Structure 1
Amino acid sequence: MTSTHRPDLPQLMIDEAVRAALLEDWGRAGDITSQATLPAAARASAVIAARKPGVLAGAGFAESAFRLTDASLQFEPIMRDGDRLSPGDVVARIEGPARALLSAERVALNFLGHLSGIATATSSFADLIAHTKADIVCTRKTTPGLRAFEKYAVKCGGGANHRFGLDDAILIKDNHIAVAGGVVPAIEAAKAFAGHLVKIEVEVDTLDQLKEALTAGPDVVMLDNMQPDQLAQAVEIAGGKVLLEASGGIELDTVRAVAESGVDLISSGWITHSAPVLDLGLDIEIA
């Protein structure tokens, strides 16, 4: 079951990613537009507001962008990651040197829009299956370098995390099975190799493969590209002996039926690799 606790990220991880993004944006001379048009002593206040409905994720990245640009910028968070947004909702207020404020704007909004888009996409799935026991989980189909942050956004949207990489769980897929010589030999080899804290999951394409896998005792079975009626049969066959994960082409118009089959987990790559950016903007407040 998805945790009810709000997720968190170490500040050092956030600052490192934001600093790199700022340096990329500033290039070799900094924000020459702000330098050219704004007096060095000019000050400004602004709000970050939602343009569309969604779920917030990445507020800490926005705060970091302003703080790292100029420590004298005052960032006041109004809403927290995981909060639901309506159009016009103010996420944060910023006040301080105008040049610095505008130099940090795009990096702050890039992180906010991207991560909030993932949280919003995840929430759209999670809301549809809230009446079932199933959790929506992410995959390794993430933006290189941003995996930890995108998986954080999934949790902000009410989802759960699958493995983070190739080293924290064993997931035996069809190609592993083909080379290993079958489902059972692959699972047995994995059990002989794995430490006592490492979970073993195996992917199956048919109910016969599921039955075969159950004889070898994996922790989780991934049911790949099965229809809801097949998934329901798989749930009956497994009888609660293992966790069952449905995977493969699951969309908003099909996720409810998949969840109602009785599976424990539903994995989706779309929520990280194809989630639309959530539209948030920074508006200068004119006195």
Structure 2
Amino acid sequence: MNFTERLRQSRIETVALSLREDIGDGDITARLIPAQKQTTGQVITREQAVIAGREWVNEVFRQVDSSVCLEWLVQDGEPVRPYQVLFRMEGTARSLLTAERAALNWLQTLSGVATNCAGYAAKVAHTGVRLLDTRKTLPGLRLAQKYAVTCGGCHNHRIGLWDAFLIKENHISACGSIADAVGEARRIAPGRPVEVETESLAELEQALSAGADIIMLDEFSLSDLRASVKMNKGRAKLEASGDINADTLIPVAETGVDFISIGALTKNVRAVDLSMRLG
């Protein structure tokens, strides 16, 4: 199953879960309004942001009331300014109010990820480095967050434990050596990317000799990162990692590594401030 289909299925399931936890056995406050009362509304952002999550909003309204009509005025990945209208809606007042919180929760959270990523990406736009997310995601929301990462101009690392090898210290210890671990990876899943985490220039040389596709340089100093790029000579892709943040990012990117993985892209996220207005 490809990522697009996994994402579609995940979206349906996680939206349904978000509605169950919010609506329970019924929205009793919405019942104050006559069932057939029609109205319109719009959602605005109160701050500058990069938008992500349109299809999650669409799915919320589809599951609540498929007769609601939405008109989007922005695309995912588009930067927006404060008080800009993101989308308009038309339907029964009950349906719009019942769907409001779940829809905004999805849009504000995923837009928060995209906005955060766009800020990081802008800092290293003058280099050739690609910024990667990690598996440090909100439980149950990994695919949604990884989608939002791409809306913000960053890139996805492996999706989970199943789609690529990432051989770390404990794997190496259990297998006996870097060479043995890489060899076993090639045997059990030919064609899958093999990445090895290293903690020194000596381990980097071992990973290069073993033929790893990607080599993670964990907690390397700037001088060792530059030495790694020279040692590598294009044999593998190099990924810097280890508590890299917005303040330390640029010097790392300028060492010439191919990738930088940053857990903060998805785990240190503030939701975008949105508002829905009816009528």
Q: For structure 1, list consecutive stretches of 5 or more residues without a partner in the other structure.
A: 1-6
CA distance in 2, matches of 1:101, 1:11: 23
Q: Match of 1:272?
A: 266
1:12 deviation in Å?
4.7
1:226 deviation in Å?
1.4
**Corresponding residue to 1:171 among 166, 190, 197:** 166
Q: Match of 2:85?
A: 90
Encode CA deviations 1:188-235: one digit per residue, 9 max, x unaligned: 22223221x211100001111111211111100000011222211111
Q: Match of 1:57?
A: 52
Whether the 8 Å contact between 1:219 and 1:242 is mirrored in structure 2 is yes
How many residue pairs get aligned? The number is 276
Is residue 2:26 matched to residue 1:34?
A: no
CA distance in 2, matches of 1:156, 1:50: 17
**Corresponding residue to 1:17 among 6, 14, 19:** 14
CA distance in 2, matches of 1:32, 1:68: 18
* Greater Cα offset, 253-262 or 18-27: 18-27
Is residue 2:94 matched to residue 1:107?
A: no
Whether the 8 Å contact between 2:10 and 2:143 is mirrored in structure 1 is no
Q: Match of 1:3?
A: none
Is residue 2:252 matched to residue 1:258?
A: yes
Whether the 8 Å contact between 2:7 and 2:143 is mirrored in structure 1 is no
Is residue 2:40 matched to residue 1:45?
A: yes
Identity, % of aligned pairs?
42
- Give the letter for the 2:215 counterpart: V
1:10 deviation in Å?
5.7
List aligned pairs for 1:1-287, cutoff 5 A. 11-28=8-25, 30-36=26-32, 38-195=33-190, 197-285=191-279
CA distance in 2, matches of 1:20, 1:107: 10
- Give the letter for the 1:32 counterpart: I
1:151 deviation in Å?
0.6
For 1:218, what is the secondary structure of its paired residue? coil
CA distance in 2, matches of 1:135, 1:8: 25
Q: Match of 1:4?
A: none
Whether the 8 Å contact between 1:203 and 1:222 is mirrored in structure 2 is yes
CA distance in 2, matches of 1:117, 1:257: 25
CA distance in 1, matches of 2:8, 2:156: 20
Q: For structure 2, list consecutive stretches of 5 or more residues without a partner in the other structure.
A: none
CA distance in 1, matches of 2:85, 2:275: 10
Which TM-score applies when normalising by structure 1? 0.92
Encode CA deviations 1:164-187: one digit per residue, 9 max, x unaligned: 111111110111112222222222
For 2:39, what is the secondary structure of its paired residue? strand
- Give the letter for the 1:35 counterpart: R
CA distance in 2, matches of 1:202, 1:270: 21
